[in-house]
Amino acid sequence: PAEFKKRRGYDLLPYLPILAGIKMADASTRARVLSDYRLTISDLIAAKHYAELKKLAHENRIASYSEAAGPNYSQADMLKTSSRVDYAMAEFWMPCTHRASMSSRFLLRNAANANHIYGKRMTMCEAFTSLGPEWQQSPFTMKPVADQAFCDGCNRMCIHNFSQSPSLTAKPGYVYVAGTHYDPGITWWDETPAFNLYLARCSSMLQAGMFHADALVYRGSNIGHGEQRKMLVPTLGHGYDHDNCNSEVLLTRTSVHDGRIVLADGMRYHVLILPNAHPMPPADLAKIAALVKAGATIVGPPPAAMQGMPVHAGEEAQFKTLVARLWGGLNGRNHTEKHLGAGRVFWGKTARAVLLAQGDPPDFAVRGLSPDGTIEWIHRTCGSSDIYFVASRWAHRENVVCTFRQSGRQPELWNPVTGAIRSATAFTQANGCTSIPLQFGPCGSVLVVFHKKIGTDVSGTTQSNYAAATPLLRLTGPWSVHFDPTWGGPASVVFSQLIDWTHSHNAGIKYYSGTAVYQKTFDLPKLPPVGSHVLLDLGGVDDVATVRLNGKDLGVVWTRPAEVDITHAVKARHNTLEIRVVNLWPNRLIGDASLPRGRRFTRTNIHKFTPASPLLPSGLLGPVRVLIEHEP
């Protein structure tokens, strides 16, 4: 009660029966007392738990990390609680029966949003959590999940999990049941640096500068689950991003500069969106009136009522007077706009219509997308540079045209898988926007960077930003393949043609898990043209491959299409090719399930798989081809 009176300005004791559900006083009073009570609980969670833990951490010269934005409670303002720790974390999950829907897996937007509006650069996530799949994930299946998290606002990964197995030799080892296993016990541990480098490149770029959004959405006390996953704001529609704003940030961190709502750390928004039929505290309404007077654009209806009990004589009358000043003369139908001070108030128009009318087209748009395709994006500004991360979320190719609200700067395409950076050669500029034809492989992604100045009338010089590839040679005939007998495979075998290991009649191959080395020699039918690029296309691979040609390590192939540049390693004749292919653990675990314990190859505390469990496709499936790239 003392904290309540201190924070709300009146005594709770006379109203305690309301908390027990007793219908004393009128409905309006009951609603206001309950609102004040919930707000006090929310304030105390932020102040007496998260802020107190941060204080204790600092007294001991350490930083505080916490998933202060939930997702497993709803009694507080998740934005405020996140601001009370040094590093507000969140989480996202791999697909699993425990978390079947996207909305139940991606739970990080609140934390990212809080970090944006409270001036924190880092949003670290408990990443790739799962419950059910065991050693069934590869870098390629993890990539679209990571990409979605990046687009939701994550920019640093804390992978869940690395189990410290008590045995250094037992494989796959003794592990914690939950999480995607990411430790030396997995088959592809030696190949993880390639995936780690992808995560690092994306994280580094998405930590640069600050998040860009067009709209700030007012959420008042914001008590509840909030926006756990990035969602479409109906009044904005596609192509405009947003942040949510609680009362604290509105009151203490917002101002207006050049008609934009700005935060103390530099975040800028074109409009402030108000919710429908939502009560509002008097202080919030007064601050909104001050923002409008200073030049802000407000979109939304008047508040449904004053939130909380009045604590000063005439407070409710003052609230109504201020509502009338802001929305007087508007009805949300045929009278939808008014100028007030240096700003404007809209009621009955969408935020999208307001933005378009003032010359702000969508920040991002895409056309040519397949009916079932999904392209996600996020935008950051860093000094004079603008960075867009764009990702396709499904396992098919996409050829699209993406339009960015940028002009007068050369678009660059940064490949986060390879690290290659090149200027786009195909693009057009019109109406303050740049349109770029982009190609995405299965679950592909790209960073589009605008930095170098060019004229606003400059266009690209080609029709495509991608080289066309034509086949030069298909590698047919026998392959020498070497398995590790430690895991039940033959030391050496010849495949007359490439096959899925699970189709083999040899049980040591059918149930094999681990690394197999494919070897072959080949000659080129002709030398590629000078200056052209030569690619090796592995075709189907389950699941990860490492390519060596003529003794040169050409790196790990883990994305799709499974291609690697062999330009500087290939020669006309006597090429020696080695492809190390790694599959996943389930096949060996399934094979072991039908063996006596003493004859099993694997040792673990997880016993999910049975002899009836389906085997996973494995090996180099091909066709393996040499391709010549022709510049557009």
In the three-class reduction of DSSP (H, G, I as helix; E, B as strand; rest coil), residue 198 is classed as helix
Which contiguous run of DSSP H or E holds residue 406?
A: none
Element (H, E) at 230: none
Q: Which of 263, 272, 281, 289 is nearest to 235 (CA)?
A: 272
Structure tokens at 559: 């994305």
Coil, strand, or helix at residue 27? helix
CB 578 within 8 A of CB 547: yes
Distance between CA atoms of residues 413 and 154, nearest Å: 21
pLDDT tens, position by position, 390-417: 999 888 999 999 999 999 999 999 999 9
- What b-and-e string marks burial along 228-266, b requiring 16 or more CB atoms within 10 Å of the CB? bbbeebebbeebbbbbbbbbbbbeebbebeeeebbbeee
- What is the β-pairing status of strands 603-604 and 172-173? parallel
Neighbouring C-alpha atoms within 13 Å toward the C-beta of 509? 21
Quote the percentage of the chain above a pLDDT of 90. 93
Residue 414 dihedral angles phi and psi, to the nearest 5°: -105, 120
CA angle 629, 630, 632 (to 5 degrees): 125
Confidence category of residue 72, pLDDT binned at 50, 70, 90: confident
CA distance 402 to 399: 10
What pLDDT, in 10s, does the model give residues 19-71? 999 999 999 999 999 999 999 999 999 999 999 999 999 999 999 999 999 88
Q: Return d(Cα 579, Cα 566) in angstroms, integer.
A: 13
Question: What percent helix, strand, coil does the chain show, rounded to 5?
Answer: 25, 30, 45
Looking up tokens 């407070």, which residue turns up?
315
pLDDT, position 558: 98
The answer, yes or no, to whether the previous bond of 193 is cis (omega within 30 of 0) is no
pLDDT the model gives residue 588: 98
Closest CA to 407 of 375, 367, 363: 363
Burial environment of residue 477 by CB neighbours within 10 A (0 to 12, 13 to 18, 19 or more): exposed
Q: What is the C-alpha separation between 284 and 251, in angstroms, rounded?
A: 7
pTM as predicted: 0.96
Burial of 97 (0-12, 13-18, 19+ CB in 10 A): exposed
Domains of the chain: 1-62 (no CATH), 64-209 (no CATH), 215-357 (no CATH), 364-466 (2.60.40), 470-630 (2.60.120.260)
Cβ atoms 534, 564 nearer than 8 A: no
Q: Is the pLDDT of residue 185 over 80?
A: yes
pLDDT tens digits, 299-333: 999 999 999 999 888 999 999 999 999 999 999 99
Q: What number is the average pLDDT over the span 436-440?
A: 98
In the predicted model, is pLDDT for residue 613 greater than 90?
yes
- Residue 632, pLDDT > 80, answer no
Q: Are strands 343-346 and 364-367 parallel, antiparallel or unpaired?
A: unpaired
Beta strands at 552-557 and 544-549: parallel, antiparallel or unpaired: antiparallel
State the amino acid at position 96 in one-letter form.
C
313 burial type by CB count under 10 A (0-12 exposed, 13-18 middle, 19+ buried):
exposed
What's the chain's average pLDDT? Answer: 96
pLDDT for 440: 97
* Residues facing residue 563 across a β-bridge: 537
pLDDT of residue 630: 87
Confidence of residue 504 (pLDDT cuts 50, 70, 90): very high
Give the torsion sign (CA, 597, 601, 606, 610): negative
Tell me which residue has tokens 């786009």.
424
CA dist 511 to 36, 140, 297, 571, 618, Å?
A: 63, 22, 64, 37, 10
Which residues on adjacent β-strands are paired with residue 520?
577
pLDDT at 71: 84
- Taking residues 217-234, report their average pLDDT: 94
Whether 614 has a pLDDT exceeding 80, the answer reads yes
Q: How far apart are the C-alpha atoms of 405 and 631, rounded to whole Å?
A: 28
**According to the model, what pLDDT value does residue 37 have?**
96
Q: Hey, what are 69's tokens?
A: 């934005």
131 vs 108: CA distance, rounded Å: 18
Q: Is 485 left (phi over 0), alpha (psi -120 to 50) or beta?
A: alpha
Residue 382 β-bridge partners: 385
108 pLDDT tier (thresholds 50, 70, 90): very high
Each residue's pLDDT tens digit, 190-220: 999 999 999 999 999 999 999 999 999 999 9
